[in-house]
Structure 1
């Protein structure tokens, strides 16, 4: 008897969103395998953030399809995609500055409709190393800790897919090393899609990388394959 083949966690076909004459996402075919860390790179304006906004439901595609584990979610609103297991942390920290650390994470859990609020909140904070800071106002945290708080808000949703948009921006070198260890520890329970300009972080973490340019896929492969790709070298990495 043939073994069952697990469908991709995310698969897009001809995914498209244009803003007037700007082809932000232009017919993108993309596959994300369950349990991988997948890097998404490209120059500024390549369409990376728009693409993941389409995956998360924060923007709606003009054409094309998005499937989550085989289910068509192309027209589902963002809150329904959250309940199906897609969590998206932003390029710019999106915490609630006047709420406590605990309440920031608890609010994310409530929005998902989960019941075990206290346990999930404390577990998420412990995973990112913020235990003991629950009663502090979020605005009093260092920038690095604020980024970790945002990550805890995503982890509290127990996501199948965690989208990280420039998560190391503004972090010190020591904080980046801790972040990489944290992301590695999420696998295989959580699949990670990582948008990141720090190429050392991407090459160190990702099992596969997709390169976008002008809203289109230029290349997909292992870090070694992407580094060796002449088109990628010319367009982005530098020969």
Structure 2
């Protein structure tokens, strides 16, 4: 089976700093893959290259068998790549409902432009309510998004990503600010998401990583240090030296 996402020689430099260094990476459809590593390892820069937020200095990105290296972020969203940011990017002055409605509207318009049926206000409302229900924010739909607790803002971002019905959902530090009970609910949510989408997860919470990921990619100094199952990564001496037990991710 061909991978859903492939990078070849992917690199990005900022001045003299090689933030991502010649990364070859592949992700199968239906996977839950975690990317871990110490601070400054290049994780967020790597996924920013994948989703088109920044352009590579060298290398390529292919999605579903097509080269998307030159496509801007909004065109990659149309192809099925959704990304939630490490720092929340909600519209603070809009309600929770309206934040998600922007994503639902984009998906419905894209569908109509590809020859699908025109959508109604009921279609829009159904899409929003479904996304909010999945992340447990349906009772907060009328609240201003900026008034939510930080952890709930992160969940709102996940709802905005889900509302796009992506084939690949990239989650950058999604459990930051969540309580233990909310983290347990989040783990169940990601497992449910993975039934219909591929998940690429940057996460500092190692119990979450070990509970969710089928495979783990470890980055260090902009390059891939190791890849494997949770058990393989847990017992990898190079990973232990560079990260596990000696450093905290961020």
Within the candidate set 222, 227, 231, 2:238 is matched to 231
| CA shift for structure 1 position 182 | 0.6
Counterpart position of 1:136: 143
Matched, 1:20 2:15: yes
Aligned-residue RMSD, C-alpha:
1.3
Runs of 4+ in 1 over 6 A off after TM superposition: none
Q: Secondary structure at the match of 1:11?
A: strand
Higher mean C-alpha displacement, 86-95 vs 107-116: 107-116
TM-score, normalised to structure 1, is 0.94
Picking from 11, 20, 33, the partner of 1:38 is 33
Q: TM-score, normalising length from structure 2? A: 0.90
Aligned to 2:88: 93
What is residue 121 of structure 1 aligned with on the other side? 128
- Once the two structures are overlaid, the 10-residue window that deviates more, 159-168 or 91-100, is 91-100
Q: Is the 8 A contact 1:66 1:74 kept in 2?
A: yes
User: 2:49 matched to 1:54?
Assistant: yes
Runs of at least 5 residues in structure 1 that lack an aligned partner in the other structure:
1-5
Cα separation, 2, equivalents of 1:108 and 1:197: 27
Q: 2:74 aligns with which of 59, 79, 82?
A: 79
Structure 2 residues without counterparts, runs of 5 or longer: 111-118
Q: Deviations over 1:5-40 (max 9, x none)?
A: x31110101101111211101000001111111000
Q: Mark the CA change 1:99 to 1:218 in structure 2 (over 3 Å): closer, same or farther.
A: same
Corresponding residue for 2:97? Answer: 102
Q: Check whether the contact 2:30–2:199 (CA below 8 A) recurs between aligned residues.
A: yes
Deviation string, structure 1 residues 168-201 (Cα, Å, up to 9, x no partner): 1111111111111110111131110000111111
